[in-house]
Structure 1
Amino acid sequence: MIKRISTEDLKPGMFVSSFDLSWFKHPFVSTRLGVVRDQGLINELKKLGISHVEIDTDLCTADEARPSPEIRPGKAARERLQPCPSEGDPERSARFARKLFDHAMTATRSLMDSVRAGKPVRTEEFQPLVARLVDAVNHNENVLHIILSLKSFDDYTYTHSLNLAALGVLLGKSMNLEQADLERLGLAGILHDVGKCLVPREVIVKPGPLTEEEFNLVKAHPALAHGYLSRQNDIPGEVLRAVLEHHERLDGSGYPRGLADGAIHPYSSIISVVDVYDALTSDRVYRPRMSPHAALRLLFNQRGQTFPEAMVDTFIKRLGVYPSFSVVQLRNGCYAVVTRQTPGRPLFPEVMVFCDREHRPLVKRRLDTWRLCGELARKEYEIERPVEPGELPPPMLMGIA
């Protein structure tokens, strides 16, 4: 039996099934905290300003020191993610990004396993993750770029969902969306491809061209995901729309319903833009990835046709002509990785030089290309061209963002 009580009346041994506070404002993986084992947790809830909680009286235990094994909360329920560090601490930012990435991979694998087994999706497990992504886009965007750079070294199946959550939040913030919208976009990014778990794996990972029948199976994954997730009552309708419509296109050429223009939800359009960008810049079984610059150019060529023009323009402006962690070659022949955008100067980002024209390693040094090329007229430090990953993959420079 669920009963709502004051936090003042909460005692060790009671089973907290829920409390009313936005996931962005609390550090727990779930609002279902389980059995309260000590006064410390109660004090923390009070410190967060939580005045009431819901308890499950059937799961409360009389023995406060030893909650029964079958109702003892799992480790994930008490797991905490630290607050996002400041932008001025690059080493801590890198460590935080790696930890957040590892947490996301664990949660996403659990998500996919649950769907394959026909179990309900525990959306509360993703709430702290999404909250930290929103926090990063508000206070330390370098964390997002570091996370995105890690996708080359882990399984695309899982990193793609995290990347879409990060990029969706980034684009949503650039469009001046509210906090709640950013949280829903992050969740939509995590959930958008769960329908692929319901399609035969040999079709999803097939390295060659798909037959018409196989392509139809793949095209069913948005509807399969929507049908599966709709059976739960804790997933916002806008998120379900994004899951269903992320392959719809402005000109009606998409699937599964062939929607066009105004019939497509804005969340769906945001997820579709970042979905294409991340797919193009990732290695797939049937083709190598392309550079971020080339992927943005392809999106630019489709603006106003398959994707909303203003949305694509905003996305390109936010990422920059040469996105962070992409490789470029300077006019002097040296290769560098982009480390930071220069506000208002999209052609002149900050870079880190790491090898010469013969690919021989150099002592890494940071360059402000705008200051060198603009103020000091050192044209040899201008960016000559973007470099495709197949020619020279980006180095792992996690500490220099």
Structure 2
Amino acid sequence: MSKWIPLEELKPGMFVSSFDLSWFRHPFVSSRLGVIRDQRLIDELQRLGVRHVQIDPALGSKVGGTAGGASQSPPDAFEHTTEGFGPPPRFDSPQLRSEAPAAAPGLPPVPPPTDPARTARFARKLFDHAMRSTRKLTRGVVGGEQLDVDELKALVGHLIASVHTNEDVLHNLLQLKAFDDYTYTHSVNLAALGVLLGEAMQLDRKALEIVGLAGILHDVGKCLVPKELIAKPDKLTQEEFEVVKQHSRLGHDHLKAQKGVDPLVLRATLEHHERMDGSGYPRGLTGGAIHPHSYLVSIVDVYDAITSERVYSGRVSGHTAIRALFNMRDKAFPRDMVDMFIKRMGVFPANSVVQLRNGCYAVVSRQIEGSPLHPEVIVICDANRVPVPRRRVNTRRLCEEMGRKEFEIERNVEPEEMTCPFLTQGGA
């Protein structure tokens, strides 16, 4: 049974499943640290201000595992809400990523991150290629044609190559979703976001390919649901919603009849609306009965859906979407996986509009590792919304190292108040 002990009693060899520090105040991907290998990590926890850790004696050594005074519940200062759900499902250990990704025809190699202009051009080409592929996919589903899995694998291969070589390609690609039909961009976004999260979880190339394909294919069942329901601008009746809910099973059954679709892609297609607490559909699965790939696709599905303009709903900022996912931890999704996604995207994701303490408005340009509250931003206008010459600001360096608190992010700005200029044609 897991128990809480003071940090002073933590010894190498113990298994740490959590600690009493908010996720955005430490640089680790997850609070589940696993087996403590040496004293250096303990010293780092002390430096960060950790006071208590939760250990699992069954997973670590017996050294110090029965220390006196250990509490069976977390300290009052730390909220822990995993009761009743058990440990989240875990992916297998990563494999060597030696296999080269397949190349999509007509696309050049991924450019280096040192060339922003080439990066932007490549992202545009990759986006256009992805749009052609997803439109072809939709036509094929409706027309009963055989799925070209190899073509989609080649597309996913470029997403994987991008996350390994030049992640800015994917962030550029995600910006372009404002310029096309949500029906098509949503699938491409899920593939890109899924690969980003999968990479953070150290998945091997095969698993990344599965996640990418599942992102592209997860909603094919919507092509088999009456179009007027999918495009309906008003709230669906309960009867209509029950029909739309059939899309996950319809998509699964359609893909099952195709050649070369991995069983885990099929499973993610079927389960991407299942939720950890049993509130999802089509089968109302709970906890570990849902495959980790399905959870991963579900998390990025929710994020992209609520940050996109849809026929029946306006979009919210990336920051608001992150807060929504944070509140779904241990309810809809496993805590560790959500935390990892938030770490990857940042508390203020790229292209979020924020207002600084000095009143200026800025757009988040990139995350700074280990500092989710202090990203790099581009200042775009003053407190009166008068445009100013754009300049990049490393808020971590200014705020944390130089004490320039006027460059702290004061608040998030929602799209209805100010739209990111980089998400408009010609804005960048």
- TM-score interval, smaller chain: 0.7 to 0.9
Query: Which stretch of the first structure deviates more once superposed, 317-326 or 121-130?
Result: 121-130
Distance (whole Å) between structure 2 residues aligned to residue 365 and residue 311 of structure 1: 34
Match of 1:322 in 2: 348
Question: What letter corresponds to residue 353 of structure 1 in structure 2?
Answer: V
Find the counterpart in structure 2 of residue 391 from structure 1.
Answer: 417
Q: In the alignment, is the contact (CA less than 8 A) between 1:91 and 1:400 conserved in 2?
A: no
**1:389–1:134: structure 2 CA closer, same or farther, 3 Å change rule?**
same
SS of the residue 2:250 aligns to: helix
Q: Which residue of 2 aligns with 1:116?
A: 142
Q: Distance in 1 between matches of 2:204 and 2:101?
A: 15
The answer for the alignment partner of 1:377 in structure 2 is 403
Offset, 1:272 = 0.4
Deviations 1:350-394 (A, max 9, x none): 111111222221111111111112222221111111111111111
Kept after mapping to 2: 8 A contact 1:24/1:128:
no
Q: CA deviation at 1:82?
A: 1.4
The CA deviation at 1:233 is 2.6
2:162 to 130, 136, 145: 136
- Alignment partner, residue 265 of structure 1: 291
CA separation in 1, counterparts of 2:160 and 2:427? Answer: 22
Q: Identity over aligned residues, as a percent?
A: 59
Deviations 1:248-270 (A, max 9, x none): 00011111111111111111110
Q: CA deviation at 1:105?
A: 0.5
Displacement of 1:195 in angstroms is 0.4
The AA in structure 1 aligned to 2:133 is A
Which one-letter code corresponds to 2:342 in the other structure?
A: I
In 2, distance between residues paired with 1:112 and 1:23? Answer: 30
Paired letter, 1:354: I
CA distance in 2, matches of 1:108, 1:143: 19
Q: Check 1:26–1:289 CA distance in 2 against 1; reply closer, same or farther (3 A cut).
A: closer
* Alignment of structure 1 residues 1-400 onto 2, 5 Å: 24-27=100-103, 29=104, 79-396=105-422
- How far apart are the structure 1 equivalents of 2:427 and 2:315? 24
Identify which of structures 1 and 2 has the higher relative contact order when contacts are C-alpha pairs closer than 8 Å and 6+ apart.
2
Alignment deviations for residues 154-197 of structure 1 (CA, whole Å, 9 cap, x no partner): 11000000000001111111111111100111011000001000
In structure 2, C-alpha distance between the alignment counterparts of 1:190 and 1:381, rounded to whole Å? 39
SS state at 2:421 partner: coil
Residue identity in the other structure for 2:366? R
Matched residue of 1:196: which SS?
Answer: helix
Query: Is the CA contact 2:102–2:157 (under 8 Å) kept in the aligned structure 1?
Result: no
Offset from partner CA, 1:235-290 (integer Å, 9 cap, x none): 00000000010000001111111111111111111000000000110111222111
1:400 to partner: Cα distance: 11
Match of 1:19 in 2: none
RMSD across aligned positions (CA): 1.8
Aligned residues of 2:101 and 2:160 also touching (Cα < 8 A):
no
Contact 1:249 1:259 in 2 (8 A): yes
**Structure in which a larger fraction of residues adopt helix:** 1
Please give the alpha-carbon distance, in whole angstroms, between the structure 1 residues aligned to 2:286 and 2:308: 27
Matched residue of 1:290: which SS?
Answer: coil
- In the aligned structure 2, how far is the partner of 1:126 from the partner of 1:25? 12
Question: CA–CA distance in 2 between the matches of 1:269 and 1:145?
Answer: 22
CA distance 1:146–1:222, shift in 2 (3 Å): same
Shift of 1:117: 1.0
Q: Structure 1 residues 160, 125: CA separation in 2 closer, same or farther (over 3 Å shift)?
A: same
Cα deviation digits, residues 129-172 of structure 1 (max 9, x gap)? 10111111112111111111111221100000000000111111
Aligned structure 1 segments of 4 or more residues deviating by more than 3 angstroms = 22-26, 397-401
Asked if 1 retains the 8 angstrom alpha-carbon contact of 2:160 and 2:195, the reply is yes
Cα distance in 2 between the residues matched to 1:26 and 1:123 = 12
Q: CA deviation at 1:25?
A: 4.0
2:254 corresponds to which letter in structure 1?
Answer: Y
Alignment partner of 1:92: what SS?
helix
- Letter matched to residue 273 of structure 1: I
**Aligned residue pairs: how many?**
330
* Contact preservation (8 Å) 2:354, 2:364: yes
Quick one: distance in 2 between partners of 1:207 and 1:24?
A: 44
